[in-house]
Amino acid sequence: MIKENTLKYLGHSGQQITDEMESLLDDCIREVKQASQPKVISRRFELSGETPYIKELGLHLPGDQIQEAFLQCSHCLFIGATLGVTLERKVKYYEKCNMTKAAVMDAAGSAYLEAYCDEYEEGLGYPNRSYRLCPGYGDIPLSFNREIARVLDVGKTLGVTLTPDHLMIPQKSMLGFIGIGTPERKKQCGQCVMKEDCAFRKRGQRCY
């Protein structure tokens, strides 16, 4: 699945690839796994009100798409994850000497982070949950990364910092939230906030 998603990120999904590309993919995925130091943290909160509101934090979750995605959800998880700074240094090294490998490493890192987060979610025991929603997608403002980072204290727990533009360092990091509720909230394309603009869906594919 990591190789398949790496190809999706590279725009090669469903296309014939050469033996040379196959070997490069395998090498990059192996290096990504070796260099990664994955960490994850989450906190569960109760939701209240017609719009998603966390009373414990005095915090409204922003965006119409969150309201739609969290319909019938009673709780949410704030979640943060990172693959660590060593992987980022390795990608930057290849950017200086082998841009092709750097691009594949970058895509493989994204695919590995996604797989790591998916596996973590599966282990939490919440079968009825929404997609993982992240600031910067749809109408969820990227600036909301700061609220999630503050709640999870990601500087101490994950070693992740935010730039003035609300981006994460290391880059292969993720901040987001997941709705937990009724069976209608099970993960499916029709419940995704990106369903109208999804490049995977337009190609007849799924991201999961």
Instruction: Return per-residue pLDDT of the chain as tens, 208 residues.
Output: 899 999 999 987 667 888 999 999 999 999 999 999 999 999 999 998 778 899 999 999 988 888 888 888 899 999 999 999 999 999 999 999 999 999 999 999 999 999 999 999 999 988 888 889 999 988 899 999 999 999 999 999 999 999 999 999 999 999 999 999 865 545 555 555 556 666 555 545 455 4
**CA end-to-end span of the chain, whole Å?**
9
Give the whole-number percent of the chain exceeding pLDDT 70.
86
- Give me the pLDDT at residue 64, please: 86
- Give me the pLDDT at residue 174, please: 97
Using CA atoms, how far apart are residues 114 and 101, in angstroms rounded to an integer?
A: 20
Average pLDDT, the chain: 88
- Give me the pLDDT at residue 185, please: 45
Range list of H helices, 153-190: 154-157
* CA-only gyration radius of the chain, Å: 18
Using CA atoms, how far apart are residues 122 and 22, in angstroms rounded to an integer?
A: 29
| pTM listed for this prediction | 0.85
- Give me the pLDDT at residue 191, please: 53
- Give me the pLDDT at residue 130, please: 86
Domains in the chain, CATH or no CATH each: 2-202 (3.40.109.40)
∠ at Cα 65 (151, 109), nearest 5°? 60
- Whether the CA torsion 150, 155, 159, 163 is positive or negative: it is positive
